[in-house]
Amino acid sequence: MSDWNSNQYMKFKNERTQPSVDLINRISYLDPQNILGIGCGSGNRTFALKNRFKYAYIIGVDYSENMLEKAKNKLSRYDF
């Protein structure tokens, strides 16, 4: 299996992130302490989760090393 190209992925960042943002905004009744972001990609959804759940510990995981490197470079204070 080939690795994802994070630069190509980011060309459609808004379109790829918006469904996650919509779902996150519908979860108003939860206040989680820990969140596992499976398939975090380049970190866009991880960032959206942190904006919504400011006090939660969030860790992002992904199969693609390229995407994880992009996430780590963009969001260095997060755990991937």
pLDDT digits (tens, 9 = 90+) for 23-72: 998 987 889 999 999 999 899 899 999 999 999 999 999 999 988 999 99
CB 43 within 8 A of CB 60: yes
For the chain, what are the domain ranges? 6-74
Whole-prediction pTM = 0.78
Superfamily classification of domain 6-74: Vaccinia Virus protein VP39 (3.40.50.150)
What are the residues facing 34 on neighbouring strands? 57
Three-state SS for 45? helix
